[in-house]
């Protein structure tokens, strides 16, 4: 099976290791991957700020690039929600690329039927449900199933796994105090688990959570699910 | 930035890291969530219940003219009176003129957000009429001179000690009074007032078209006393409160109680039918503007259960008073620009992380966070967006329409971050949070190198 990778802009620019890990995991389970070099941004920042005309231009661009593939695997639940849930409303039509874009954990579990990718990561981790992954895509069990199959990994649920981290795209800089106060509550919930790592399928949440933890030198690392699954 | 937006921003700055406020709200919402979990378990199929409720409300909103006239006919047929008010001022004037006609000097009120919306209490007081709130939470708000903090639980931001302090200041009661003692003091003071009042003022949780009745749900029985004891009852009712038939209450009563407080049913559910002393004021006050917006019309399905407030990370952080609106939280941020004007309120739809928890808990399935997105788009269409932001998005769009320009822009941004040049631009982020270390190469650079090798 050959799939196209969609590496959203900020993962591409700030978290290249997430994309690299995705490539490693997908190849390990026998998927042939390609990276259409024309891709840039799905348009979500513009869409969420109210600039639907600008977002529409990028939505069309995304579909023109990815329409030819049978499946597109994305490194972000949030960007997948943008493409799959919001493009039809934005474009007034359902494009092939929109229906065929999948979030990474969803693709492994639902499309390939794989939960054990042969990973080994001896650490205590807690999983953060990113809002768009949980409430737009309804993905909750898939990442957890993948984590439970990792050798040596202990998954500890936090009390507020489903609570927002406060990132919210441009919200995080338009209302930085509100955003950070929400972040603090989330991080208290994470730290209380005693986990060494907080894992998510959205690097944007991890940037928000990691930004708070690191400023306060709290000893919890952040990892994208793909980075955990890439460890052997 | 307009004055409202500035005021909102300042209020949020003051509240967001107020740990005392956060702890009280966390405690009260935790109690609420535990009760709701038990309440939801009593439904055989919660999802079907809310789908059914949404369908009933859809039917009402899309035939509102029909149901309003049916309601009016039926109330009048049994001797009640119906008044139509297009604006808050009109509604207030109707109440004042009824009060004058009946020689009213004292009024008691059962909890009602719509009378907050039209600022009825100050208008009555200016006309020399004493008004007393009889819902315990609202009574405490009135004693403190504060607006309700929450549409269902008006003093969710206070703990027992703070309420005891308020009672101590007003009535000299002991500072260590228990919750039961405080409620007892309020009950004692209120009983006499009920008997002395000339007019009872209520809102309505629902208005039933057939038969023409208004429905009041309280846990304290105060709506019964408010409607039964004074010689005149005036109910101010938003036109969106309509339900077609009495049978619909079999669904909407448990729906409201479960999401409102976690109860299966509210303790006192009172039906007030058309009778001589009943005057219903049907209020528009901007609602028909929302009705005219086909995309967002379903916001009028709202039954004011308050569930979206309790679910909202922003509401729990900034608190109900920061919004400066009658209706707070997600639903308030969604409807306030429609009801009170876009130029003054378009900042509220942006004050959301779009987490979507509000829509998940909504008993009538209003996609609130999607409507916040629609509101943002509407604000941009009206050119209410900051010009600098508009310009930045144009430049950004030009950049990301080409993979080459995007890659160069990304490289420049990472380089600037490494040299610390991006710090002034990133101040909003770095006040509380660190930025990630920018990598030397992007994923696309890695891919190109490795795939060519």
Same domain, B173 and B314: no
Same domain, A54 and A137: no
B439 to A16: CB separation less than 8 angstroms, yes or no: yes
Show which of residues 98-117 on chain A sit within 8 Å of chain B, judged by CB atoms. Answer: none
**End residue of a domain, out of B381, B413, B439:** B381
pLDDT (tens digit per residue) in A56-72: 999 999 999 999 999 99
Best CA proximity match to A109, nearest among A231, A232, A229: A229
Contacts of B24 (CB under 8 A, 6+ apart): B156, B157, B158, B159
User: Does residue B17 form part of some domain?
Assistant: no
Minimal-distance CA residue of chain A relative to B8: A175
What per-residue confidence (pLDDT) applies to B421? 82
* Residue B332 to residue B325: CA distance in whole angstroms: 7
Best CA proximity match to B434, nearest among A179, A13, A210: A210
Return the residue matching tokens 């002395």: B196
ipTM over 0.90: yes
Tell how far CA A86 is from the center of its chain: 16
B313 to A61: CB separation less than 8 angstroms, yes or no: no
Return the residue matching tokens 């819902």: B135
User: Does residue B280 form part of some domain?
Assistant: yes
Helix (H) or strand (E) holding B368: helix B368-381
Same domain, B67 and B215: yes
Here the CATH number for the domain that contains residue A188 is 3.40.50
Same domain, B266 and B366: no
Minimal-distance CA residue of chain A relative to B408: A13
Where in the sequence is the domain holding A131, given as residue range(s)? 120-230
pLDDT (tens digit per residue) in A184-193: 999 999 999 9
Same domain, A98 and A134: no
Query: Which one of A14, A51, A61 has the shortest CB-CB distance to B439?
Result: A14
Instruction: Tell me the β-bridge partners of A126.
Output: A198
Distance between the two ends of chain A, CA-based, in angstroms?
Answer: 23
B439 to A177: CB separation less than 8 angstroms, yes or no: no
**Total number of domains constituting chain B:** 3
Cα distances from B329 to residues B22, B26, B155, B314, in angstroms, run 15, 15, 15, 8
Best CA proximity match to B284, nearest among B127, B100, B80, B94: B94
pTM, two decimal places:
0.96
Helix (H) or strand (E) holding B398: helix B387-400
Please, how many CA atoms are within 13 Å of residue B296, restricted to the half-sphere of its CB? 23
User: Does residue B299 form part of some domain?
Assistant: no
What per-residue confidence (pLDDT) applies to B276? 67
Same domain, A224 and A151: yes
What per-residue confidence (pLDDT) applies to B310? 98
**End residue of a domain, out of A89, A111, A133:** A111
User: Does residue B352 form part of some domain?
Assistant: yes
In this prediction, the residues of chain B whose per-residue pLDDT falls under 70 are 274-276, 452-453
Query: Which one of A46, A51, A178 has the shortest CB-CB distance to B16?
Result: A178
Same domain, A127 and A222: yes
Query: Which one of B357, B413, B431 has the shortest CB-CB distance to A176?
Result: B431
Q: At what angle do helices A52-66 and B387-400 cross, to 10 degrees?
A: 10
A9 to B357: CB separation less than 8 angstroms, yes or no: no
Contacts of B19 in chain A (CB under 8 A): none
Contacts of B438 in chain A (CB under 8 A): 13-14
Contacts of B449 in chain A (CB under 8 A): none
- Residue B122 is encoded by which pair of tokens? 């100050």
* Residue A226 to residue B409: CA distance in whole angstroms: 26
Query: Which one of B352, B410, B413 has the shortest CB-CB distance to A171?
Result: B352
- Mutate one of A37, A40, A173 to test the B interface: name it (highest B CB count within 10 A): A40
Contacts of B145 (CB under 8 A, 6+ apart): none
Minimal-distance CA residue of chain B relative to A12: B443
Asked if B301 and B50 touch (Cβ cutoff 8 Å), the reply is: no
User: Does residue B290 form part of some domain?
Assistant: no
What per-residue confidence (pLDDT) applies to B452? 64
B403 to A37: CB separation less than 8 angstroms, yes or no: yes
Task: Identify the three-state secondary structure at position B94.
Answer: helix
- Mutate one of B390, B432, B452 to test the A interface: name it (highest A CB count within 10 A): B432
User: Does residue B93 form part of some domain?
Assistant: yes
**End residue of a domain, out of A80, A111, A142:** A111
Contacts of A223 in chain B (CB under 8 A): none
Angle at Cα A82 formed by Cα A77 and Cα A83, nearest 5°? 95
Best CA proximity match to B330, nearest among B345, B342, B344, B314: B314
* Residue B222 to residue B226: CA distance in whole angstroms: 6
Minimal-distance CA residue of chain A relative to B18: A181
Helical H segments across B149-270, by residue range: 160-171, 179-196, 222-228, 249-260
Same domain, B356 and B432: no
Best CA proximity match to B238, nearest among B153, B325, B315, B339: B339
- Would you tell me how many other CB atoms lie within 10 Å of the CB of residue B192? 9
- Residue B390 is encoded by which pair of tokens? 């508009």
Concatenating the DSSP letter of every residue in B98-154 gives HHHHTT--EEEE---HHHHHTTHHHHHHHTT-EEEE-SHHHHHHHHHT---SSSS-T
Query: Which one of B17, B428, B447 has the shortest CB-CB distance to A35?
Result: B447
Same domain, B268 and B130: yes
B174 class by beta-carbon count within 10 Å (0-12 exposed, 13-18 middle, 19+ buried): exposed
Same domain, B435 and B331: no
B443 to A11: CB separation less than 8 angstroms, yes or no: yes
CB–CB contacts below 8 A, A to B: 189
pLDDT (tens digit per residue) in B225-280: 999 999 999 999 999 999 999 999 999 999 999 999 999 999 999 999 866 689 99
Instruction: Give yes or no for A133 touching B (CB within 8 A).
Output: no
Instruction: Give yes or no for A219 touching B (CB within 8 A).
Output: no
CA B191 to chain A, closest CA, distance in angstroms equals 43
Same domain, B227 and B322: no
B329 class by beta-carbon count within 10 Å (0-12 exposed, 13-18 middle, 19+ buried): buried
Q: What is the largest CA-CA distance in chain B?
A: 93
Same domain, A127 and A210: yes
What per-residue confidence (pLDDT) applies to B424? 76
Same domain, A103 and A124: no
Task: Identify the three-state secondary structure at position B279.
Answer: strand
Cα distances from A60 to residues A11, A56, A65, A85, B277, in angstroms, run 21, 6, 9, 14, 62
A175 class by beta-carbon count within 10 Å (0-12 exposed, 13-18 middle, 19+ buried): buried
Cα distances from B307 to residues B204, B262, B379, in angstroms, run 18, 10, 26
* Residue B400 to residue B393: CA distance in whole angstroms: 10
pLDDT in 10s for each residue of chain A, 232 residues:
779 999 999 999 999 999 999 999 999 999 999 999 999 999 999 999 999 999 999 999 999 999 999 999 999 999 999 999 999 999 999 999 999 999 999 999 999 999 999 999 999 999 999 999 999 999 999 999 999 999 999 999 999 899 999 999 999 999 999 999 999 999 999 999 999 999 999 999 999 999 999 999 999 999 999 999 999 9
B443 to A16: CB separation less than 8 angstroms, yes or no: yes
Buried b (16+ CB within 10 A) or exposed e, B358-394: bbbbbbbbbbbbbbbbbbbbbbbeeebbeeeeeeebe
Same domain, A107 and A148: no
What per-residue confidence (pLDDT) applies to B14? 96
Instruction: Tell me the β-bridge partners of A101.
Output: A72
Instruction: Tell me the β-bridge partners of A74.
Output: A6, A103
Query: Which one of A48, A50, A135 has the shortest CB-CB distance to B379?
Result: A50
Where in the sequence is the domain holding B278, given as residue range(s)? 48-285
């Amino acid at each position: 099976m050959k799939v196209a990778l969609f590496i959203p802009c900020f993962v591409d620019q700030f978290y290249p290791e997430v994309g690299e890990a995705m490539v490693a995991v997908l190849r390990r389970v026998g998927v042939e991957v390609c990276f259409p070099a024309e891709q840039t941004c799905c348009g979500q920042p513009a869409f969420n700020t109210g600039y639907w005309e600008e977002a529409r231009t990028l939505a069309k661009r995304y579909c023109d690039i990815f329409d030819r593939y049978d499946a597109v695997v994305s490194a972000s639940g949030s960007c997948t929600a943008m493409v799959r849930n919001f493009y039809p409303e934005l474009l007034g039509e359902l494009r092939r690329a929109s229906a065929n874009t999948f979030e990474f954990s969803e693709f492994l579990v639902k499309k390939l039927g794989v939960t054990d990718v042969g990973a080994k990561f001896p650490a205590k981790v807690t999983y953060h449900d990113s809002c768009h992954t949980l409430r737009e895509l309804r993905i909750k069990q898939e990442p957890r199933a993948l984590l439970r199959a990792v050798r040596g990994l202990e998954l500890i649920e936090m009390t507020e796994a489903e609570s927002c981290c406060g990132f919210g795209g441009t919200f995080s800089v338009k209302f930085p105090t509100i955003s950070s106060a929400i972040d603090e509550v989330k991080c208290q919930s994470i730290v209380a688990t005693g986990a060494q790592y907080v894992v998510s399928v959205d690097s944007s949440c991890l940037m928000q959570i990691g930004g708070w933890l690191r400023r306060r030198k709290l000893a919890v690392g952040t990892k994208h699910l793909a980075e955990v699954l890439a460890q052997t | 930035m307009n004055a409202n937006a500035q005021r909102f921003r300042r209020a949020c700055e003051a509240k967001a890291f107020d740990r005392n406020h956060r702890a009280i709200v966390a405690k009260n919402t935790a109690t609420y969530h535990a009760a709701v979990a038990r309440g939801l378990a009593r439904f055989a199929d919660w999802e079907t219940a809310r789908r059914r409720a949404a369908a009933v409300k859809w039917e009402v909103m899309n035939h509102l003219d029909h149901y309003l006239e049916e309601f009016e006919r039926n109330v009048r047929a049994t001797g009640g009176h119906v008044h139509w008010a297009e604006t808050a001022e009109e509604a207030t004037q109707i109440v004042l003129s009824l009060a004058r006609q009946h020689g009213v000097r004292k009024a008691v009120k059962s909890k009602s957000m719509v009378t907050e919306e039209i600022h009825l209490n100050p208008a009555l007081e200016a006309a020399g009429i004493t008004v007393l709130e009889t819902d315990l939470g609202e009574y405490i708000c009135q004693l403190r001179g504060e607006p309700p903090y929450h549409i269902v639980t008006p003093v969710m931001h206070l703990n027992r000690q703070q309420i005891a302090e308020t009672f101590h200041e007003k009535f000299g009661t002991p500072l260590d009074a228990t919750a039961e003692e405080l409620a007892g003091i309020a009950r004692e003071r209120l009983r006499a007032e009920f008997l002395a009042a000339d007019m009872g003022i209520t809102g309505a949780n629902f208005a039933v078209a057939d038969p023409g009745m208004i429905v009041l749900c309280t846990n304290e029985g105060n709506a019964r006393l408010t409607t039964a004891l004074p010689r005149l009852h005036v109910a101010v009712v938003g036109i969106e409160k309509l339900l077609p038939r009495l049978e619909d209450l079999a669904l909407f009563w448990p729906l409201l109680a479960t999401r409102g407080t976690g109860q299966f049913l509210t303790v006192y559910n009172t039906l007030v039918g058309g009778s001589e002393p009943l005057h219903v004021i049907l209020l528009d006050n901007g609602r028909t503007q929302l009705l005219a917006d086909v995309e967002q019309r379903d916001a009028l399905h709202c039954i004011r259960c308050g569930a979206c407030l309790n679910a909202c990370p922003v509401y729990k952080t900034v608190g109900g008073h920061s919004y400066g609106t009658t209706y707070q939280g997600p639903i308030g941020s969604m409807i306030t620009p429609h009801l009170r004007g876009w130029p003054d309120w378009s900042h509220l739809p942006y004050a959301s992380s779009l987490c979507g928890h509000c829509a998940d808990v909504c008993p009538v399935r209003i996609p609130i966070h999607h409507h916040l997105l629609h509101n943002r788009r509407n604000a941009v269409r009206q050119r209410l967006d900051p010009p600098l932001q508009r310009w930045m998005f144009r430049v950004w769009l030009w950049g990301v329409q080409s993979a080459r320009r995007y890659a160069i822009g990304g490289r420049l941004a990472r380089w600037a971050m490494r040299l610390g040049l991006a710090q002034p631009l990133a101040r909003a982020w770095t006040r509380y949070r660190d930025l990630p270390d920018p990598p030397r190469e992007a994923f696309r650079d890695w891919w190109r190198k490795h795939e060519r090798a």
